Structure 1
Amino acid sequence: MVCRGCRCGTPKVTGVDHAAQTARLRSLVPVRVSECLDVCEQANVIVVQPSAEGRAAGARPVWFGLVNDPDATEDIAASARAGGPGVAPLPDILDL
């Protein structure tokens, strides 16, 4: 899920091509767009839901804030493609 509300996805977060970020994520993984996830101070926000396998392992959704770098976007998508929370380990850089 990608937030595109109050600050996320708007010119308020400068230097980020929000449309390109959303399009890139959509080219890699299924994406839902949310109007606002209510953590505007952490813009841009991406939430990765666990797969059925991850949920069976007890995983919960993982929230990422300040996703304003194309490399972070790629790392998040790679982790989701590898099975997501509860299945695939997070890249160290995303564990901040």
Structure 2
Amino acid sequence: MSGSIGHRSVIRAAASRPCTLVVCRGCCCGNPRKHPGTDHAWQLDRLRAGAAEHGLHIRTTDCLGPCDQANVIVVQPSTAGRRAGGRAVWVGFAMDDDCTDDLLRWAAAGGPGIAEPSAALQLQFIRPPREARVRARR
């Protein structure tokens, strides 16, 4: 009997996965030599503070691929967003305070599948690399 209770709690935990921001910090994204006018550390600190405030997840990764569109952040939908048809959204050129704030507002409001992003943020949507598009179809 106790095994089934544990199983239910795992399912319940998975059912409530929040929106996740995956922040690229590889060779180009987050590189002060490539983008000297951007405070990359502040941006990551701001994203982490906003995630803590709104119950979001933040992950960093070495390289997402589209280096010519750095800084890249992928907004992954919450479980509810995915159930509503939301898919991961790739945002390029995410370097200024306005973009960081727009990302946090959108994710806090529910993100892909739940809330509409600002018009300014939509202008920064980019096409994911081919490998990511193939994985998304699986």
Superposition deviation, residue 95 in structure 1: 1.3
Report 1:1-96 matches (<5 A): 1-11=22-32, 12-29=34-51, 30-96=57-123
| Cα RMSD after superposing both structures | 0.7
More helix by share: 2
Q: Which amino acid aligns with 1:84?
A: G
For residues 46 and 106 of structure 2, the distance between their equivalents in structure 1, rounded to whole angstroms, comes to 14
Q: Which amino acid aligns with 1:27?
A: A
Following superposition, which runs of at least 4 residues in structure 1 exceed 2 angstroms of deviation?
Answer: none
TM norm structure 1: 0.96
Larger Rg over CA atoms: 2
For residues 6 and 48 of structure 1, the distance between their equivalents in structure 2, rounded to whole angstroms, comes to 20
Higher relative contact order (CA 8 A, sep 6+): 1
Superposition deviation, residue 79 in structure 1: 0.2
Q: Deviations over 1:47-85 (max 9, x none)?
A: 110011110011110110001111111001110011010
What is the identity percentage for the equivalent residue pairs of Structure 1 and Structure 2?
54
Alignment length, in residue pairs? 96
Runs (5+) with no aligned partner, structure 1? none
SS in 1 for 2:26: coil
